[in-house]
Amino acid sequence: MIFDTDVMIWAFRGNGKALDAIDEATTRSISSVTYMELLQGVRNKAEMLSMKRFLSTLGFATLPVTAEISTRAISIMESTALKSDLGVCDALIFATALENGDTLLSGNAKHFKEVPLLDARAFRA
């Protein structure tokens, strides 16, 4: 399962539902975009170290943005640009799930419902 940034933030803050979802997953991955978004939110070196330990302890793989993911994200943006406020980061994360053939767990149901081939589950904190 690929975890979206919002779910990871909830888990990092100790939300039981997010931690349960992680615990129940047979595989645990995040996009490198999610990793960068998490880094963007840390306030100091101690928090950064804590976040990195959290990911490592729970066995998260960080999936890189490949040329195929970039191409898929462009396609997603082209198909949603005129009807949605879907952002670049979300498009890259969604494309990562699509290209890896994995389920995405995200609280961003409004946007992921706009990507018909995406296998996604809605998360509510």
Q: What is the mean pLDDT of residues 88-108?
A: 96
Candidates 32, 33, 51, 28; CA nearest to 104 is 28
Tell me how many helices (H) and strands (E) the chain has. Answer: 7, 5
pLDDT exceeds 90 at position 89: yes
Candidates 83, 86, 77, 74; CA nearest to 111 is 86
Strand partners, 61: 29
Q: What is the mean pLDDT of residues 90-97?
A: 96
At 108 the pLDDT is: 87
At 116 the pLDDT is: 86
What's the longest Cα–Cα distance across the chain? 41
At 13 the pLDDT is: 92
Give the domain ranges of the chain: 2-122
Per-residue pLDDT band at 60 (split at 50, 70, 90): very high
At 112 the pLDDT is: 82
- The larger pLDDT score, comparing residue 84 to residue 45, is at 45
Q: 2-122 is classed in which CATH architecture?
A: 3-Layer(aba) Sandwich (3.40)
